[in-house]
Amino acid sequence: MDFKAAIPILGFESCKEVRLEEIDGEFYRLVDKNGAATPTFTLVTPALLRNDYIFDLPQSVAQKLKAESPEDLMVLNIMIIDTPIENSHVNFLAPLLFNKKSGLMGQIVLDSQKYPNFSLADPLNKYIERESAS
């Protein structure tokens, strides 16, 4: 599905239109629709890794994305892939939000003081080990 960036992706402000491609329901690929020099991002559904990923959505963000309710938004996180996969990292502090109804998307940065358990580069192996121990 194609989206317009109503709130830019940090560091990639020139990326105005993106295509979100589902890989398998939990993982997605985000590409610059205009083929600019923007890298392809691998995104992950946060619920796959943690059940405590809840944050307050600022009203200004909801307005920019034309979200009438939180259910309008799909939340995904950028994943930095490494080899082996267990050495990958997930950015929980700056989620990407997608409104499939409006076709708008954006990235927000959460307050690290308010959300101390979310980080910019949370190690994936932290969650794999937790699942293995259960």
CATH code (residue 104): 2.30.290.10
Q: What's the pLDDT score for residue 14?
A: 87
Look up residue 93 and give its amino acid. Answer: L
Is residue 132 very low, low, confident or very high in pLDDT (cuts 50, 70, 90)? Answer: very low
Other CB atoms within 10 A of residue 107 CB? 19
Structural domain contains residue 55: yes
* Residue 97 counted as domain residue: yes
User: Is 132 inside any structural domain?
Assistant: no
DSSP lists the bridge partners of residue 20 as 30
Read off the tokens for 1: 């599905």
Domain membership of residue 40 as a residue range? 2-124
The count of structural domains within the chain is 1
Q: Which residue has the tokens 């020099």?
A: 37
What single-letter DSSP state applies at residue 5?
E
Residue 119 lies in a domain: yes
pLDDT tens for each residue of 49-87: 999 999 999 999 999 999 998 899 999 999 999 998 889
- Reported as a single tens digit per residue, the pLDDT across 70-129 is 899 999 999 999 998 889 999 999 999 999 999 999 999 999 999 999 999 999 998 876
Number of other residues whose CB lies within 10 A of the CB of residue 129: 12
Q: Name residue 81's beta-bridge partners.
A: none
Region 29-43: what's the mean pLDDT?
84
Q: Is residue 134, in this structure, part of any structural domain at all? A: no
